[in-house]
Amino acid sequence: MASDDEGLIAELHALVGARGLITAPDDVAPYLSDWRGLYQGRSPCVLRPADTAELAGAMRILARRQVPVVPQGGNTSMVGGAMPDESGRQVVLSLARMNRIRDIDAVDMTMVAEAGVVLKAAQEAAAEAGCLFPLSLGAEGSATIGGVLATNAGGNTTVRYGNARELMLGLEVVLPDGTVWNGLRRLRKDNTGYALRQLFVGAEGTLGIITGAVLRLFPRPRAREVAFCALPDLDAALALFRRFRDRDEASLQAFEYMSGAGIDLVLAHIPGATLPVASRAGHYVLVDLASPRPDAALRELLEAVLGEAFEAGEVADAAIAESEAQVQAIWRLREEHPEAQKRAGASVKNDVSVPVSRVPDLIRGASAAVTELIPGVRPVPFGHMGDGNIHMNFVRPDGMADADFLARSHDLMDRVNTVVRALDGSFSAEHGIGRLKPSMLADWRAGAEFDLMRRIKAAVDPLGLMNPGKVFEA
Determine, following the binding rule CB under 6 A, whether residue 391 of this chain makes contact with ligand MLT.
yes
393 interacts with ligand MLT by CB under 6 A: yes
Distance in angstroms (rounded) separating the CA atoms of residues 58 and 64: 10
Residue with Cβ nearer ligand FAD (419 or 436): 436
Contact 428, 416 (CB under 8 A): no
User: Which residue lies nearer to ligand MLT by CB, 204 or 461?
Assistant: 204
Euclidean distance between CA atoms 350 and 413, whole angstroms: 7
The residues, ordered by sequence, that sit 6+ positions from 82 with a Cβ below 8 Å of its Cβ are 34, 70, 71, 72, 73, 75, 92, 147, 205
Nearest distance from C-beta of residue 254 to ligand MLT, angstroms = 11
Point out the residue whose Cβ comes nearest to ligand FAD.
147
Give whichever of 68 and 383 is closer to ligand MLT, judged by the CB atom: 383
Which single residue brings its beta carbon nearest to ligand MLT?
338
Size of the site for ligand MLT (CB under 6 A): 9
138 binding ligand MLT? (CB under 6 A): yes
Alpha helices in 65-131 (DSSP H): 119-128
Q: Which of 84, 202, 338, 365 contacts ligand MLT by CB under 6 A? A: 338
Task: Count the alpha carbons within 13 Å of 383 in the hemisphere toward its beta carbon.
Answer: 28
Report the partner that residue 134 touches, choosing among ligand MLT, ligand FAD, none (CB closer than 5 to 8 A by kind).
Answer: none
Nearest CB to ligand MLT, comparing residues 162 and 464: 162
Among 160, 197, 216, 349, binds ligand MLT (CB under 6 A): 349
Residues that bind ligand FAD (CB under 6 A): 35, 70-78, 81-82, 95, 115, 137-139, 142-144, 146-148, 150-151, 153-155, 204-205, 209-210, 338, 430-431, 434, 467, 470
For residues 168 and 119, the answer to whether their CB atoms sit within 8 Å is no
**Residue 152 in the binding site for ligand MLT (CB under 6 A):** no
- For residue 94, the 8-state DSSP code is E
Comparing CB distances to ligand FAD, the nearer of 139 and 237 is: 139
Q: How does DSSP assign 362-377, residue by residue?
A: HHHHHHHHHHHHSTT-
Burial class, 473, CB count within 10 angstroms (exposed 0-12 / middle 13-18 / buried 19+)? exposed
| Binding partner of 337, given ligand MLT, ligand FAD, none, CB within 5-8 angstroms per partner class | ligand MLT
Q: Is 337 in the site for ligand MLT (CB under 6 A)?
A: yes
Is 383 an interacting residue with respect to ligand MLT (CB under 6 A)? yes
Stated length of the chain: 474
Residue 115: name its binding partner from ligand MLT, ligand FAD, none (Cβ under 5 to 8 Å by kind): ligand FAD
Binding at 150: pick from ligand FAD, ligand MLT, none (beta carbon under 5-8 Å per type): ligand FAD
**CA gap 281, 257 in Å, rounded:** 13
* Least distance CB 317 / ligand FAD (angstroms): 26
Residue-wise burial string across 262-279, b where 16 or more C-beta atoms lie within 10 A, e elsewhere: bbbbbeeebeebebbeee
Phi, psi of 112 (to 5 degrees): -105, 115
Q: Could you tell me the sign of the dihedral formed by the alpha carbons of 221, 225, 228, 231, in that order?
A: negative
**Binding residues for ligand MLT (CB under 6 A):** 78, 138, 337-338, 349, 351, 383, 391, 393
